[in-house]
Amino acid sequence: MSAEPPRDSIALAITGASGALYATRTLAALLERRCHVELIVTEYGRRLLRDELGEAAAVDRLIDYLIGRYGESVRQGSFTLYSNRDLGAKIASGSQDCRAMIVVPCSMKTLAGIAHGLSRTLTERAADVMLKERRPLVIVPRETPMSLPQLRNMVLCAEAGALVMPAMPAFYQMPKTLDDLADFMAGKILSAIGFSHELYPRWGS
């Protein structure tokens, strides 16, 4: 019998909104905490990783990118990558054991799909499962300005039980780099699903 405590299992979807750095920082922070991440990267999420972070961040090289950028401690966790088309994946079912799901960054398209319970893709279906099972779902939308339908879709998600956390890093912690901004959002996300962290200085500290 293993003495190792069971790993936290967290679902993470990366969609095609700007802000790939928020996704890689959040993924790295979960891996550093020994989580097992059930990872979905949509087609446009894959494009955004390469467009914003370079070819080195392409999905098939992601673990090397994370180690290079965030250090060896990401090896403490693990992830399984799913196709967004795979509606038969285990995270499409309510019997899966993920205790929380994060969609970061979340495009307006995926936001709409979640808001309306469409379940057309694995991201939408896994998010729907979290809502119906009353488990934490953190959605990090990014768009500006926002149309009325987009604003209404955020309200629908919040009413259904999701935590809507727009990608709006604060400046009171005096960020100096893009990584400081990404650390802030990743820290907010980790706090929302119950992890302690030191990704940004606390207010007043």
Which residue's CB is nearer to ligand FMN, number 45 or number 77? Answer: 45
Nearest Cα to Cα of residue 107 among 84, 90, 133: 84
Residue 48 or 186 with smaller CB distance to ligand FMN: 48
CA nearest neighbour of 185 among 71, 58, 50, 19: 19
Report the distance separating Cα 9 and Cα 38, nearest Å. 7
Binding status of residue 153 toward ligand FMN by CB under 6 A: no
By CB under 6 A, which span of 31-39, 45-53, 176-184, 195-203 interacts with ligand FMN? 45-53
Among 24, 26, 96, 110, binds ligand FMN (CB under 6 A): 110
Q: For ligand FMN, which is the closer residue by CB, 54 or 71?
A: 54
The 10 Å Cβ neighbour count of residue 110 is: 28
Which residue of 7, 33, 51, 78 would you call a contact of ligand FMN, by CB under 6 A?
Answer: 51
In angstroms, give the least distance from the CB of 38 to ligand FMN: 17
Residue 196: count of CB within 10 angstroms of its CB: 8
Q: Is 108 in the site for ligand FMN (CB under 6 A)?
A: yes
Chain-centre distance for alpha carbon 37: 10
Q: Of 74 and 154, which has the nearer Cβ to ligand FMN?
A: 154
Integer-rounded Cα Rg, in Å, for the chain is 16
Q: How far is the CB of 42 from ligand FMN (least distance, A)?
A: 3
Instruction: Give the N- to C-terminal CA distance of the chain in Å, as an integer.
Output: 43
Q: Which residues contact 175 (CB under 8 A, 6 or more apart)?
A: 169, 181, 184
Burial class (CB in 10 A: 0-12, 13-18, 19+), 73: middle
Closest CB to ligand FMN among residues 16, 169:
16
Q: Which stretch binds ligand FMN (CB under 6 A): 108-116, 132-140, 151-159, 176-184?
A: 108-116
**Which residue among 10, 17, 30, 104 contacts ligand FMN (CB under 6 A)?**
17
- Note the residues at the interface with ligand FMN (CB under 6 A): 15-18, 42, 44-45, 47-48, 51, 107-110, 142-143
